[in-house]
Amino acid sequence: RMEASCLELALEGERLCKAGDCRAGVSFFEAAVQVGTEDLKTLSAIYSQLGNAYFYLHEYAKALEYHHHDLTLARTIGDLLGEAKASGNLGNTLKVLGNFEEAIVCCQRHLDISRELNDKVGEARALYNLGNVYHSKGKSVASAGTHEPGELPDDVRNALEKAANYYEENLTIVTELGDRAAQGRAFGNLGNTHYLLGNFRSAVIAHEQRLLIAKEFGDTSAERRAYSNLGNAYIFLGEFETASEYYKRTLQLARQLQDRAVEAQACYSLGNTYTLLQDYEKAIDYHLKHLVIAQELNDKIGEGRACWSLGNAYTALGNHDQAMHFAERHLEISREVGDRSGELTARLNLSDLQMVLGLSYSTNNSMMSENHVADNSVNGARPRVGRRHSMENMELMKLTPEKVQNWN
Amino acid sequence: SQPLSGRQAAELQSKVVPSKQILHSDNMEMEPETMETKSVTDYFSKLHMGSLVYSCTSKRKNK
């Protein structure tokens, strides 16, 4: 025969996916499906791998389709282990798609079958997946509100507490099994769950464990994640100095890993941390670094945030010219990306700054009028009439530490 | 009453420190998902294990 067999095509698909080329792997798997096979177990393996490849390619609708085919097939041929695996994969995919209730049913099925088969590894993995679903569920409901971690509606708290319980159950098993990599993952996500629950000390304990295991494996990405999460937790413990140290380690590793987006995030976090420490010069330094990368990555939302943060920091220093410049940029970008609340914030900041600079609200100022045309000339283009306030007045702007602590 | 300039500056100060909300808003670093894997090679090798073992042992015997 001239044409390749289904098995040969599938084997090439597997090889390509293992080599990290999921896109090419998908083509071979789809060709294998086209050719077809009488062997339903082979077909099930192809569907499963197609589902996973699409999952890694972030094409979740396709992933859902193939994992569903796999599940149907596994049930048809009475392959219980295969059914458990397909259920787990379907659950993970449904979770990403935000269908948490169905995701829970699928992950629970994965768990039930694993227990029935006395498959400890499968059981642990199902528990981890269930933890992830409840974590995502809690986070998605939480993100709709505007509260801080720790101040949670009941449904969010319930979901997050379930997540924590599943991670703990998973940890018990993977510790028995001596699976350090799995322990690392569970500690990381358990730490993030405690963080959202407002248990910041527990979050630190979990992330410290995660860090230890990441170092054991020489897993730099996981190490970087742990530093970043530790930084976040220390912010909420009010230990800003410690947070800044962890964010600096994050920044170091981001640079080492040459991940510009993560580098930008680390700079942004550092900028915010130094703002909390009231070291506005350093805050500006890091926010400017963040701004440069955001522009480089054409991340308009990041650029807008950088401008807003810079405007605030310059205001704190009493440098109102620079503050105006960045508030204007923030307004421009908010308009560009259609961020209504950003636009409103920028307008309020601008009007405040104009007040301080001695301009009245009623001034027919181009920035405040609706048909504003982007003013690209940086500082000094606008006449600064009747500036009434000397810089000494800006002493008032310094915050007391108590105020910073309670700032929520 | 408080002079206008003082009040304005006080209002401005309230915007200086970012809410800690923005720090946690979207930069929590999650661990990766674990997907269950199936492989045609697993199945393939099980199917052909007998003959492969045979060919390997017979090759060794031939040496």
Q: Which of B8, B34, B39 sits opposite A356 (nearest CB)?
A: B8
Least confident range from A201-215, A376-390, B16-30: namely: A376-390
Split at pLDDT 50, 70, 90, the class of A123 is: very high
pLDDT digits (tens, 9 = 90+) for A188-198: 999 999 999 99
DSSP annotation of A4 reads P
Q: Identify the pLDDT of residue A401.
A: 31
Q: How far is CA A262 from the centre of its chain?
A: 10
Q: Identify the pLDDT of residue A406.
A: 34
Residue A147 pLDDT more than 70?
A: no
DSSP annotation of A105 reads H
Q: How far does chain A reach from its first CA to its final CA, in angstroms?
A: 71
Integer Cα distance of A336 and A381 in angstroms: 22
Q: Are A310 and A288 in contact (CB under 8 A)?
A: yes
pLDDT digits (tens, 9 = 90+) for A240-287: 999 999 999 999 999 999 999 999 999 999 999 999 999 999 999 999
Q: Are A82 and A44 in contact (CB under 8 A)?
A: yes
Q: Are A318 and A303 in contact (CB under 8 A)?
A: no
Give A287-292's long-range contacts (Cβ < 8 A, gap of 24+): A287/A313, A289/A264, A290/A264
How far apart, in Å, are the Cα atoms of A237 and each of A135, A145, A231, A266?
22, 22, 10, 19
Query: A151 vs chain B: nearest CA distance in angstroms?
Result: 12
DSSP letters spanning A226-280: HHHHHHHHHHHTT-HHHHHHHHHHHHHHHHHTT-HHHHHHHHHHHHHHHHHTT-H
Split at pLDDT 50, 70, 90, the class of A389 is: very low
Integer Cα distance of A184 and A83 in angstroms: 27
Integer Cα distance of A70 and A163 in angstroms: 27
Instruction: Say yes or no: A279 contacts chain B, CB-CB below 8 A.
Output: no
Q: Identify the pLDDT of residue B8.
A: 57
Q: What percent of chain A has pLDDT over 70?
A: 85
Q: Identify the pLDDT of residue A288.
A: 97
Between residues B46 and A257, which one has the greater pLDDT? A257
pLDDT digits (tens, 9 = 90+) for A348-382: 989 888 888 875 444 444 444 443 333 333 333 33
Phi, then psi, of B27 in degrees rounded to 5: -120, 25
Q: Are A334 and A304 in contact (CB under 8 A)?
A: yes
Between residues A146 and A187, which one has the greater pLDDT? A187
For the segment A147-163, the average pLDDT, to the nearest whole number, is: 85
Integer Cα distance of A391 and A43 in angstroms: 74
Between residues A61 and B45, which one has the greater pLDDT? A61
Residue A97 pLDDT more than 70?
A: yes
CA nearest to A124 within chain B? B34
Test mutation, A121, A192, A339, chain B, max B CBs within 10 A: A192
Instruction: Say yes or no: A70 contacts chain B, CB-CB below 8 A.
Output: yes
If we measure between CA atoms, which residue out of A134, A128, A239, A240 comes closest to residue A175?
Answer: A128
Burial class (CB in 10 A: 0-12, 13-18, 19+), A75: middle
Q: Identify the pLDDT of residue A310.
A: 96
Q: Identify the pLDDT of residue A358.
A: 76
Test mutation, B38, B44, B45, chain A, max A CBs within 10 A: B38
Integer Cα distance of A82 and A110 in angstroms: 10
Over chain A, what is the mean pLDDT?
Answer: 87
Residue A397 pLDDT more than 80?
A: no
Q: Which of A275, A393, A404 sits opposite B9 (nearest CB)?
A: A393
For the segment B29-49, the average pLDDT, to the nearest whole number, is: 81
Q: Using only C-alpha atoms, what is the Rg of chain B?
A: 35
Which residues from B are below 8 Å from A316, CB to CB? 13, 16
Task: Judge: A188–B38 Cβ closer than 8 Å, yes or no.
Answer: no
Provide the residue type at B60 as one letter. R
Instruction: Say yes or no: A246 contacts chain B, CB-CB below 8 A.
Output: no
Integer Cα distance of B22 and A41 in angstroms: 49
For the segment B12-38, the average pLDDT, to the nearest whole number, is: 68
Q: Are A263 and A293 in contact (CB under 8 A)?
A: yes
Phi, then psi, of B17 in degrees rounded to 5: -85, 125
Integer Cα distance of A149 and A142 in angstroms: 9
A6: which 2 tokens? 């289904």
A 335-374: CB under 8 A from B: 348-349, 352-353, 355-356
Between residues B45 and B40, which one has the greater pLDDT? B40
Integer Cα distance of A121 and A112 in angstroms: 13
Test mutation, B2, B7, B31, B45, chain A, max A CBs within 10 A: B31
For the segment A14-21, the average pLDDT, to the nearest whole number, is: 96
Instruction: Say yes or no: A290 contacts chain B, CB-CB below 8 A.
Output: no
A 153-172: CB under 8 A from B: none
How far apart, in Å, are the Cα atoms of A31 and each of A34, A213, A234, A237, B6?
5, 41, 51, 55, 73
Between residues A66 and B61, which one has the greater pLDDT? A66
Least confident range from A12-26, A81-95, A347-361: namely: A347-361
Q: How far is CA A36 from the centre of its chain?
A: 40
Integer Cα distance of A346 and A308 in angstroms: 7
Residue A2 pLDDT more than 90?
A: no
Between residues B14 and B43, which one has the greater pLDDT? B43
Q: Identify the pLDDT of residue A357.
A: 81
For the segment A400-405, the average pLDDT, to the nearest whole number, is: 32
Phi, then psi, of A235 in degrees rounded to 5: -60, -45
Q: Identify the pLDDT of residue A152.
A: 85
Q: What percent of chain B has pLDDT over 70?
A: 25
Between the CA atoms of A271, B29, A334 and A142, what dihedral angle is there, to the nearest 10 degrees?
-120
Query: A46 vs chain B: nearest CA distance in angstroms?
Result: 7
Q: Identify the pLDDT of residue A386.
A: 32
Instruction: Say yes or no: A334 contacts chain B, CB-CB below 8 A.
Output: no
Q: Are A151 and A165 in contact (CB under 8 A)?
A: no
Q: Identify the pLDDT of residue B27.
A: 79
Q: Identify the pLDDT of residue A92.
A: 98
Q: Are A182 and A128 in contact (CB under 8 A)?
A: yes
Place of tokens 């908010």: A334
Integer Cα distance of A240 and A235 in angstroms: 5
C-alpha atoms less than 13 angstroms from C-alpha of B4 in its C-beta half-sphere: 8
Residue A111 pLDDT more than 80?
A: yes
Between residues A351 and A173, which one has the greater pLDDT? A173
Split at pLDDT 50, 70, 90, the class of A226 is: very high
Between residues A345 and A228, which one has the greater pLDDT? A228
